[in-house]
Amino acid sequence: MRDALGAVQSALVLGGGSEIAAATCELLVRERCRTVVLAGRSPERMASTAERLRTAGATTVEMVDFDASAPETHAEVIAATFEAHPDIDVVIVAFGVLGEQSELNDDPAAAAALAATNYAGAVSSGIAVAEHLRRQAHGTLVFLSSVAGERVRADNFVYGSTKAGLDAFAQGLGDSLTGSGASVLVVRPGFVRTAMTAHMEDGPMATTPEAVAADIVKGLRSGAHTVWSPAKLRWVFTVLRHLPRPLWRKVAASR
Ligand X SMILES: NC(=O)c1ccc[n+]([C@@H]2O[C@H](COP(=O)([O-])OP(=O)(O)OC[C@H]3O[C@@H](n4cnc5c(N)ncnc54)[C@H](OP(=O)(O)O)[C@@H]3O)[C@@H](O)[C@H]2O)c1
Number of residues located near ligand X, criterion CB under 6 A: 27
Report yes or no: 19 and 45 within 8 Å, Cβ to Cβ.
no
- Least Å distance between CB 121 and ligand X? 6
DSSP-based three-state secondary structure for 201: coil
CA dist 164 → 33, 151, 183, 199, 205 (Å): 31, 8, 20, 23, 20
Report yes or no: 202 and 193 within 8 Å, Cβ to Cβ.
yes
228 is a site residue for ligand X (CB under 6 A): no
The residue within the footprint of ligand X, chosen from 68, 130, 142, 182 (CB under 6 A), is 68
The residue within the footprint of ligand X, chosen from 34, 45, 74, 132 (CB under 6 A), is 45
The residue within the footprint of ligand X, chosen from 8, 15, 37, 115 (CB under 6 A), is 15
Nearest to 141 by CA among 175, 80, 177, 185: 185
Q: Other C-beta atoms within 10 Å of 207: how many?
A: 19
18 is a site residue for ligand X (CB under 6 A): yes
Q: Pick the closer one to ligand X by CB: 66 or 82.
A: 66
DSSP-based three-state secondary structure for 71: helix
Beta strands in 79-200 (DSSP E): 90-93, 139-144, 182-189
176 is a site residue for ligand X (CB under 6 A): no
**What mask of x and - would describe binding to ligand X in positions 192 to 211, judged by CB under 6 A?**
x-xxxx--------------
The Cα–Cα gap between 92 and 21 comes to 7
Q: 159 an active-site residue? A: yes
95 is a site residue for ligand X (CB under 6 A): yes
What is the amino acid identity at position 57?
Answer: G
In the complex, residue closest to ligand X by CB: 96
The residue within the footprint of ligand X, chosen from 63, 111, 144, 252 (CB under 6 A), is 144
Cis, bond preceding 43 (omega within 30 deg of 0): no
40 is a site residue for ligand X (CB under 6 A): yes
| Catalytic choice (66, 82, 95, 159) | 159
Q: Pick the closer one to ligand X by CB: 195 or 251.
A: 195
Active site residues: 159
Summarize as ranges the residues that interact with ligand X (CB under 6 A). 15, 17-20, 40-42, 45, 66-69, 94-97, 117, 144, 146, 189, 191-192, 194-197
